Homo-oligomer: A and B are copies of this chain.
Amino acid sequence: MRPIVIEANTPVNAFLQSDDAIYGAGLDAFTSIGSLGTYAPKESLFWEGDLAEFQYRVVRGTVCLYKLLPDGRRQVARFCHVGDLIGLSARTNYQYTADALTDVTVQRIRRAELDAHMEDDPTLRRGVLASISEELNAAQNQLLLLGRKSASERVASFLVTMTEQAMRQGGDGHSVFLPMTRVDIADYLGLTHETVCRVFSQLKAQGIVRFSDPHDVEISDATALAVLADGDMDTRLCA
């Protein structure tokens, strides 16, 4: 049973990113009318069921969105990185909890304000629609992962996705930082943290990845990883 406690005094994973790495076409409204907020690791931006007053855009750090079952089982729906929007929904209440994994900076904007701006700004509208539709896309890929992939395939897919993410933020595609814990990864992949560990160890033994420490992966064989992830070769990650 995972305790539902907010603790502010935890090890801070240095995961700084330059502001110029922010992307997201047509989402300037967040910059111009949003207010900045900062959160320490393990702080919650909001809880599932809360009135959805704000919508967010990540400026720095990583946020984890998840749902809980009554008995404490947890499913992470998404890790949000720089540029991602959080809290878009037609519902009046948040449908998941959002926790900061690292030191996080967000632009916060009131729903009503965003809605008003969207009425006037076709570019913003398209940006928001594109963002939510990409989110849906990612969720559907995750359905395939959770419903049909083996443990190794899930972990490999996760590493491929994290690598792509890192490259969008200017990474070289070889060294990737994982801001989340093994438990977070497990709850994202529908596994236990022990299984995630074991697969990481297998991948190390096969010479596909190397860990300088638990949060720093080096991708030694991106092709092998991509094949493992999909049973398929057509990927943008081939060495």
Q: What residues make up the interface of A, taking CB atoms closer than 8 Å to B?
A: 67, 69-71, 73-75, 77, 88-91, 95-96, 119, 122, 125, 128-130, 132-137, 139-144, 146-149, 187-190, 230-232
Contact = CB atoms under 8 A, between A and B. Distances in A.
Contacts of A125: 125
A140 B70 contact: no
A67 B132 contact: no
Contacts of A136: 89, 132, 135-136, 139
A139 B133 contact: no
Contacts of A190: 146-148
Nearest to A234: B70
Nearest to A88: B133
Contact of A89 (B91, B128, B137, B189): B137
Contacts of A132: 129, 132-133, 136
Contacts of A187: 147
A91 B137 contact: yes
Contacts of A69: 144, 148-149, 230-232
B144 A143 contact: no
A96 to B, nearest CB: 7
If over half of A's interface residues share one DSSP class (helix, strand or loop), that class is named, otherwise mixed; here it is helix
B231 A140 contact: no
Contact of A148 (B73, B88, B230): B73
Contact of A143 (B143, B148, B232): B143
Contacts of A140: 67, 77, 95-96, 139
A147 B146 contact: yes
Nearest to A73: B148
13 contacts: A67-B144, A69-B148, A69-B232, A70-B231, A73-B149, A75-B144, A77-B143, A89-B133, A89-B137, A95-B140, A142-B143, A146-B147, A147-B187
A152 to B, nearest CB: 14
A32 to B, nearest CB: 21
A125 B118 CA distance: 10
A234 to B, nearest CB: 9
